[in-house]
Amino acid sequence: MTETLENLVLHALGQVFDEDKDKNIVSLGIVKSINIESGQATLILEFNKDDPNIKKIFDESEKALSEIPGITKANIVTTYHSEPKSNETLQGDISNSDSEKITPGLGTSKIKYILMVASGKGGVGKSTVATNLAIAFKRIGLKTCLLDADIYGPSIPTMFDVHEKPVSDGKQIETINKYGIATMSIGYMVNDDNPMIWRGLMVMKAINELISKVNWGEADIMVIDLPPGTGDVQLTLSQKLKIDGSVIVTTPQDVALIDVVRGLKMFEKTEIPILGLIENMSYFVAPDTGKQYPLFGESKTEKIAEQYDYEILSKIPHDPLLLEQCENGHPLTDLVPEHKVSRMFIELAEVVLKKLKLLRLANT
């Protein structure tokens, strides 16, 4: 009952906008906490001291809550913080100075590069690529972390064989470190049988927590495993973080590729460059002859890459060992780094890193 009411409250608050910033107060992080007991909602809103819209937002939030059936009373508490200075939030050569997108202290502020791994639909191997690519970044000497933001079907707990819950003191959540990678997944926090079909605003809240409440610490690169398609998660992440680039995983016959390319093109306007495509399960190598056979007939990837002027960064074969590693919970690139497919992931990591560095240079 309380959870349903919380959803309704979140949804209602998602309709309250800070007009100057043209974003709703949930995605702006103004809504700090919601507590509902016996129909009474207590809300904490946190503003910048000099925000000119405090009163308007307060009144609209109060009105939005009063219109929710089941909420008998609304208590709104306002708190204030001052805008962090950019040099308080960033260290090293991180050129991201957009303080609105950065959570000071905790969170991702000490991560040099953030890379999203996207796909048009499920089952193309997005999580397999995200996982092995993260390990490959570690292998080329980068301090790496992995965020499983696929809140509808998190795979990282299985792929990293993690079954414990992250440690938390109520204020911050510690990452789970495995195979030399700091990981966090929404899958660590919920039971397997929990329904994951969350409404948009619940999604935003969950993603906010994964970003800002997790003690990510310092890292060279964060790999984010996105849910398939382009939806609330991508939107929330692009609003909250300075994402340095994305790669799209596809299979040769994936008709959904075109949708995600179009979807991510929208994000290119919000400054998330698409670095290229990764064709997974591209071909099969006969173990006796070493000959390559296409698995799905003629590939659609080349055509789309040409049409949109994207590079195909890698063509990963179908390999039974990659499949096995999913079941065993130990990524192939870590388990057998000299394997041909592992070496392909390491080459891919080198190419992606080079592109990220070039983009960073071009932007500074």
Residue among 242 and 318 whose Cβ is closer to ligand ADP: 318
CA angle 297/301/302 to nearest 5° reads 100
Q: Are 186 and 153 in contact (CB under 8 A)?
A: no
Site residues (CB under 6 A) for ligand ADP, limited to 121-150? 122-128
Which among 61-69, 81-89, 115-123, 330-338 is the span making contact with ligand ADP, rule CB under 6 A? 115-123
Report the C-alpha gap between 210 and 151 in whole angstroms: 11
- Binding residues among 252-271 for ligand ADP as defined by CB under 6 A: none
Structure tokens at 166: 């992250």
Per-position DSSP letters for 220-250, written without gaps between them: EEEEEEPPSSSSHHHHHHHHHS---EEEEEE
Residue type, 346: I
**Residue from 148, 232, 254, 319 binding ligand ADP (CB under 6 A):** 319
Contact between 155 and ligand ADP by CB under 6 A: the answer reads yes
User: Residues 151, 322, 332, 349: which binds ligand ADP (CB under 6 A)?
Assistant: 322
Site string for ligand ADP, 79-98 (x = CB under 6 A): --------------------
The residue type of 206 is A
Q: What's the CA gap between 61 and 42, in Å, rounded?
A: 11
Minimum CB distance to ligand ADP smaller for 210 or for 249:
249
Closest distance to ligand ADP from the beta carbon of 281 (Å): 5
**Residue 53 CB-density burial (10 A; 0-12 exposed, 13-18 middle, 19+ buried):** middle
Structure token pair of residue 57: 């937002």
DSSP string, 65-95: HHTSTT--EEEEEEEEEPPPPHHHH--TT--
**105 contacts ligand ADP (rule: CB under 6 A):** no
Tokens of 277: 């495509």
Q: How far is the CB of 122 from ligand ADP (least distance, A)?
A: 4
Q: Which residues of 22-49 are buried (b: 16+ CB within 10 A; e: fewer)?
A: eebbbbbbbbeebebeeeebebebbbee
Closest to ligand ADP by CB, 39 or 122: 122
Interacting span for ligand ADP (CB under 6 A) from 29-37, 100-108, 204-212, 320-328? 320-328
Cβ-based nearer residue to ligand ADP, 175 or 280: 280
Question: Is residue 244 at the binding interface for ligand ADP, with CB under 6 A as the rule?
Answer: no
Sequence-ordered list of residues with C-beta below 8 angstroms from that of 234, at least 6 positions apart, any chain: 116, 118, 226, 263, 264, 267
- What is the smallest separation between the CB atom of 183 and ligand ADP, expressed in angstroms? 15
Give the residue at shortest CB distance from ligand ADP: 125
Site string for ligand ADP, 166-195 (x = CB under 6 A): ------------------------------
Position 45 contacts ligand ADP (CB under 6 A): no
Name the minimum Å distance from CB 33 to ligand ADP.
33
318 sits near ligand ADP (criterion: CB under 6 A): yes
Q: Which is nearer to ligand ADP, 128 or 215 (CB)?
A: 128
Scan for tokens 């953030």, then name that residue: 114
N-to-C CA span, the chain: 51
Q: Does residue number 280 form part of the binding site for ligand ADP (CB under 6 A)?
A: yes
Number of residues lying near ligand ADP (CB under 6 A): 17
Is 335 near ligand ADP (CB under 6 A)? Answer: no
Closest by CA to 236, choosing from 44, 77, 29, 48, is: 29
Which residues are near ligand ADP by CB under 6 A? 119, 122-128, 155, 280-281, 316, 318-319, 322-323, 326
